[in-house]
Amino acid sequence: MRRIAILFVVLTLAACAATTAVPTPSPAPAATAAPTTASPIAAPAVAAIAPTSAPAATPRPTAAPEPAPTTEATAPSTASGPSAASTFAFSYPIGIPGRPLGDGFFIRHGFATENTWYNPGYWHTGEDWYAQAGDTAGARVYAVAAGQVIYAGANYPGRVVIVRHAGDLYSMYGHLDPRLDVKAGQQVARGDLIGTVLRRGDKTPNHLHFEMRTFMTAGAVNGARPRYPFRCSVNCPPGPGYWPIDAPDLPGALGWRNPTHAINRRMLAPGSAGAIVVATRPVSASITLWSAPPGEGAPQALGELKLRPGQRYPLLDVRAGPEQTRTTSALSYQLWYRIQTTDGASGWVQAAVPSAFETGGDGRPSSVEFNFYPDREAS
Ligand SMILES: [Zn+2]
């Protein structure tokens, strides 16, 4: 019952490559970029990209990516592994009470990507989190780490909250309902409720715009002399939310960071343990278990891991891409977890999967979906 169905079918790397479903964009080094090196070892990345064909490409507001069908409707839980309680220093900014933070949501418009139907010609400086099913309005928004609320205001539309964390890192939560749960000056802990997503009433579908960055105001961005003062003026903490594609620099050069990478790289306190949980709606019904993450040695396919929603695995290690992403599509998202399976084996699995639910003008994917979320429940 609780036994994980791992079929140790040895897959050749060539066979995996043959299953690639997402077209490789012509100038896309990002497609094979490894998280920590420039080595073009592409095995997991190629396999990783294969499951991204499922989502529909329609921009309908409430359209959710179509998950792979699963026959396991129930969520078996395992008692194996250490408790993840209080070991996570960072977690995702949105969630449903009683479920892992982030579960039930996906990044419809990723960091430093273009979204052709919404704001063509601009890189996004954050992540737009949407509910996988139904309206995102009213979804609960949480502090991603301990810190101090240093800004709460604006009409973005909706309120903006900015939290300053240790090490001059800032998290920014946009399009919130005016009834906030925090005030400027207040200290917050990781997972504290900040507010809920605004029901906007304009043409844009309801969502959370979430940023991580190294500034509250920066001269050329939203400070004394904004270079591109769209949607924000002088000394405007929320910032523009976008950066022109024809600008000489990418968002990362101005201080914006890839939120998913930043959260996951900082997630586990040194020496601490944690666990991850299979998404309620994983990207595919099964994924490959690898001997190593991309760019590290020569990853071998160890077998297939069937994804049972709610299944929990001890988390042994994390690999996330750079916080200052230098590539401009969802293909730059790299998030891998090393897990222990219930039969005592271990291997690397892909947690974040680039998706063509939304795309940039060159067709590269701009959305990101998840197979796993860290085991830290929303409250
Ligand atoms: Zn946004």
Distance 367 CA to ligand 1 centre (A): 12
Q: What is the pLDDT of residues 215-257, one digit of tens each?
A: 999 999 999 999 997 888 899 999 999 999 999 999 999 999 9
**What Rg do the C-alpha atoms of the chain give, in angstroms?**
20
- Calculate how far, in angstroms, residue 209's C-alpha sits from the geometric centre of ligand 1: 4
Give, as residue ranges, everything with CB less than 5 Å from ion ligand 1. 128, 209
Residue 274 has pLDDT above 60, yes or no: yes
Residues 327-360 have pLDDT tens digits of 999 999 999 999 999 888 999 999 999 999 999 9
pLDDT at 17 over 50: no
**CATH architecture observed for domain 9-22+72-374:** Distorted Sandwich (2.70)
The pTM for the full model equals 0.79
Domain ranges of the chain: 9-22+72-374
CA of 125 to the centre of ligand 1 (A): 7
pLDDT in tens, 125-167: 999 999 999 999 999 999 999 999 999 998 889 999 999 999 9
Q: How far is the CA of 110 from the centre of ligand 1 (A)?
A: 8
Looking at per-residue pLDDT, the higher value among 269 and 367 belongs to 367
pLDDT in tens, 291-323: 999 999 999 999 999 999 999 999 999 999 999
Q: How confident is the model at residue 87 (pLDDT cuts 50, 70, 90)?
A: low
* Ligand 1 centroid to residue 54 C-alpha, Å: 23
Residue 261 CA, ligand 1 centroid: distance in Å = 17
Q: Does pLDDT of 75 surpass 50?
A: no
Q: Please state, for a pLDDT cut of 70, what percent of the chain lies above it.
A: 77
Mean pLDDT score across all residues of the chain: 81
**How close is the Cα of 139 to the center of ligand 1, in Å?**
16
The pLDDT assigned to 65 comes to 37
